[in-house]
Structure 1
Amino acid sequence: MILVIDYDAGNTANVLRALRKLGIPAELSADPEKILSASGLILPGVGAYPTAMKELEERGLVSVIKEAVAKGTPLLGICLGMQLLTEQGLEHEETQGLGFIPGVCRAIPANKEKPVPHTGWNNLHVQQATALTAGLEDKDVYFVHSFFTDVPRQYIDVVADYGIQIPAMIHKEKVFGAQFHPEKSGDIGLGIIEKFVNLCQ
C-alpha cells in the first residue's frame, strides 16, 4: 500500500487521483501505524515551509516519517514536500526541515525575464540516472514554486533552467524529491509516480 501523508498541505486529491488512474492502491492518512506499515510514502505539499513543518510536528509525524525512512521505506516528496526533505528552509524564517538530504531551501532570485513564482511547463535535463529518471531528458513538466533546494551536486538527479539551475529531482538512498508536480504533468509525470511505486514493491 502506498500511503499519502495527510497534514493539510494541499494537492493530496490530485496525487490520489493520479495513483487511482495508474490502478495503484493508495490511502491518505496521518495514522502512525499506517505510515510505518506502508510499502512507500508520498509527502505532497503546497504552501510555506515553516507552516508545513509546524503541521508535521504538531501531528507527531516528524519522528514517524524518520522512523519509516530509517527502516528503509521509500519516500517521495512532491513540490513543498521535496523542499522539506532538506535540513533547513529560509522561507519567512529559518526552519529546521526533515534533514534527509543535506542542503537549504532558498528563494529563487527574481529578474524581469524570470518572474517568481516559477509557474508553468519547463524542460528537464537529467544529471544522473536513478530509478525514477529514465526517459525524462528534454521532457516538459509542470512547476509552481518560489523556492528551490540548494543541495550538493551529488544529490541532484534532474535540473530545469530558470535563470539558475533549479534542482527538479533530488535523492539520497531511498528518499526522492520532485520539485515539479508529477500528478499535473501528464503521462510523463504519471510515469515517474509509477516508477516510484515499482521501486517500493
Structure 2
Amino acid sequence: MEIAIVKYNAGNMFSVVNALKRLGITPQITDEAEQLQKADRVLFPGQGNAKTAMDYLRQHGLDKIITGLRQPVLGICVGQQLLCRHSEEGDTPCLGIFDVDVKKFVPNHHDEKVPAMGWNELTHLKSPLFKGLHEGNYTYFVHSYYVPVCEDTIAQANYILPYSAAIHKKNFWATQFHPEKSGQVGETILRNFLEIKD
C-alpha cells in the first residue's frame, strides 16, 4: 500500500511519519501531483496558521490537486480546517470540501484557555474510522479554532461548546485531534483509516 503525506508549510509531518512507521508503513512526503494521485491513501496533516497554509497551497497548485483526489484522504488538525469552506483565522477561504465554516473559540470564563490543549474525550462516534473504540475514548488536541457540529460530523468533543472532533464526506475524512499523538486510540484510528474501503 502506497501512503502519501501532503508536503506543505504546516508542520507536524514527522510525528505522522513515525506513527505510520509504527504500523509498518513508510509513507512518501510529497507535493508532486502524480505521486499524490497514485497513492492508495493520502494524509493531509497540519499545524499553524490557516491563511499562511492556504496561500502556500494555492501558490503551488496543491489546492486543486487535493480537492481532485479520489482515494481516501485524512486531514489532521489544521488539515481538517483547511478542508472546510472558510476559516475565521485570517478571514481565509479554504478548500470547500466540507460546507462549513471554521470558528474561533470564544471563552465564557477565565478558566477556559485558548488554545484548547490536551486530552479530550470523543463522543457521538459514527464511522468505521472508530471501529474498536467507544464513547469516552480520549485523544490529543491543540487548537484555537474549531469546526462546528454539522451534517458531516462523525465524532464530537466538548470544550467551551460541542464541536466536530471528526468529519467525513465522500472520500474525505478529517480529525481535529492528532491521532499520531493519541497513543493506542490514535493508532487504532490510523489503522482503521488505512483499512477503509474506497
Regarding TM over 0.5, the answer is yes
Gaps of 5+ in 1: none
Matched, 1:170 2:167: yes
Does the aligned pair in 2 maintain the 1:39–1:200 contact within 8 Å?
Answer: no
Percent identity of the aligned residues?
Answer: 34
Q: Is residue 183 of structure 2 the alignment partner of residue 182 of structure 1?
A: no
Q: Pick from 77, 91, 101 the counterpart of residue 79 of structure 1.
A: 77
Deviation at 1:189, TM superposition (A): 0.3
2: CA distance, partners of 1:76 / 1:14: 15
- Is the 2:84–2:102 contact (alpha carbons within 8 Å) kept by the matching residues of 1? yes
* Partner in structure 2 of residue 61 of structure 1: 62
- Residue 151 of structure 1 deviates from its aligned partner by 5.0
Name the amino acid aligned to 1:176: W
Greater Cα offset, 130-139 or 175-184: 130-139
For structure 2, the 5+ residue unaligned runs are: none
Distance 2:134 2:153 in 1: 14
Residues 7 and 136 from structure 1, CA distance in 2 versus in 1: closer, same or farther, beyond 3 angstroms? Answer: farther
Does the 8 A contact of 1:9 with 1:47 survive in 2? Answer: yes
Q: How does 1:5-84 map to 2 (within 5 A)?
A: 5-68=6-69, 72-84=70-82
Contact 2:11 2:46 in 1 (8 A): yes
Q: Is the 8 A contact 1:87 1:103 kept in 2?
A: yes
CA deviation after TM superposition for structure 1 residue 126, in Å = 2.2
The answer for the alignment partner of 1:96 in structure 2 is 93
Q: Give the Å deviation of 1:37.
A: 0.6
Deviation at 1:136, TM superposition (A): 3.8
CA distance in 2, matches of 1:53, 1:47: 11
CA RMSD of aligned residues (A): 1.3
Aligned to 2:141: 143
Q: What is the TM-score when the length of structure 2 is the normalising length?
A: 0.94
Q: TM-score, normalised by structure 1?
A: 0.93
Task: Give the equivalent residue in structure 1 for 2:156.
Answer: 159
Give 1:130 shift.
1.1
